[in-house]
Structure 1
Amino acid sequence: MFYQIERIRREYKFSMPVNHFHDTYEIYYLLNGKRYYFIQDRSYFMQEGDLVFIDKNKLHKTLDANALPHERILVSFDDSWVHTMGKDTHEIALAPFRQKQHIFTLLGANRTLIENLLFSMLREQSQALPGWELNSKALLTQLLVACTRLMEQMNPVDEHEHPQAHNPKIFEIASYINEHFHERLNLASISDKFHISPSYFCRSFKETTGFSFVEYLNNIRIREAQRLLRETKLKVIHIAEQAGFDSVAHFGRVFKQVTSQTPLECRKLTHLGLSSFSDTP
Structure 2
Amino acid sequence: MEPIRKHFGNELPFTLLLDYKETKSPQRELPDHQHDWYEIIYVYGGKGSFFIDQTFYEMRQGDVIVVPGNTVHRGFPDNEEPVTSSAVFFSPGLILNQPYSESYAYLKLFDAAKQNKQYKYTLSPEHAGIVQNDIDAIHNEREQNRTDGGQALTLLLHLTLLHLNRYCLPQTAGPLTSNTLLPDWFREALSYINDHLNQPLELSSLAGRAAISPAHFSRVFKQRLGMNVTDYIATKRIFAAKDSLLQSSGTIEQIAMACGFESMPHFYRTFKKITTVTPAAYRRNSRTH
With the shorter chain as reference, the TM-score category is 0.5 to 0.7
SS in 1 for 2:34: coil
Which amino acid letter does the alignment assign opposite residue 73 of structure 2?
H
1:6 and 1:64, CA in 2 relative to 1: closer, same or farther beyond 3 A? Answer: closer
Q: Which protein is bigger by CA-based radius of gyration?
A: 2
- Structure 1: distance between partners of 2:43 and 2:172: 19
Cα pair 1:15 1:64 within 8 Å, conserved: no
Matches of 1:69 and 1:179, distance apart in 2: 29
Computed over aligned residues only, the root mean square deviation of the Cα atoms, in angstroms, reads: 3.9
Give the structure 1 partner of residue 64 of structure 2: 51
Q: Taking every aligned residue pair, what percent have the same amino acid on both sides?
A: 18
Note if contact 2:18-2:89 (Cα within 8 Å) is conserved in structure 1: yes
Equivalent position SS for 1:207: helix
Confirm or deny: 8 A CA contact 1:63 1:210 kept in the other structure: no
Q: For residue 21 of structure 1, what is the aligned residue in structure 2?
A: 34
Aligned to 1:126: 143
Q: In the superposition, relative to structure 1, how do residues 12 and 61 fare at CA in structure 2: closer, same or farther (>3 Å)? A: closer
Q: Show the counterpart of 2:134.
A: 117
Tell me the equivalent position of 1:60: 73
Residue 92 (str. 1) matches residue 105 (str. 2): yes
1:31 aligns with 2:44: yes
- 1:89-125 deviations in whole A, cap 9, x for unaligned? 4862111112222111112321111110100000111
1:79 paired residue number = 92
Structure 2 Cα separation of the partners of residues 83 and 114 of structure 1: 22
Q: Secondary structure at the match of 1:92?
A: coil
Give the TM-score normalised by the residue count of structure 1.
0.57
CA-CA distance at 1:41 after TM superposition = 1.3
- The secondary structure found in structure 2 opposite 1:36 is strand
Residue matched to 2:260: none
C-alpha spacing 1:118/1:88, structure 2 compared with 1 (3 Å): closer
In the alignment of these two chains, the number of paired residues is: 195
CA contact (8 A) 1:25 1:76 kept: yes
**Are residue 193 (structure 1) and residue 205 (structure 2) matched?**
yes
Q: CA deviation at 1:132?
A: 1.6
How has the CA–CA distance of structure 1 residues 44 and 18 changed in structure 2, closer, same or farther, with 3 Å as cutoff? Answer: same
Q: Alpha carbons of 1:29 and 1:144: their partners in 2 closer, same or farther (altered >3 Å)?
A: same
Query: Relative to structure 1, is the Cα distance of residues 14 and 174 closer, same or farther in structure 2, using a 3 angstrom cutoff?
Result: farther
- Residue correspondence of structure 1 range 96-111 to structure 2 within 5 A: 96-99=109-112, 100=116, 101-111=118-128
Gaps of 5+ in 2: 1-13, 174-183, 209-228, 244-289
Structure 1 range deviating more: 102-111 or 112-121: 102-111
Q: State the alpha-carbon separation in 1 of the partners of residues 162 and 237 from structure 2.
A: 31
Identify unmatched segments of 5+ residues in structure 1. Answer: 157-171, 216-281
Report the 3-state secondary structure (helix = DSSP H, G, I; strand = E; otherwise coil) of the residue aligned with 1:23.
coil
2:156 corresponding residue in structure 1: 139
Deviation of 1:77 after TM superposition, in Å, equals: 1.1
SS at match of 2:36: coil
1:53 Cα offset (Å): 0.7
The amino acid that maps onto 2:129 is: T
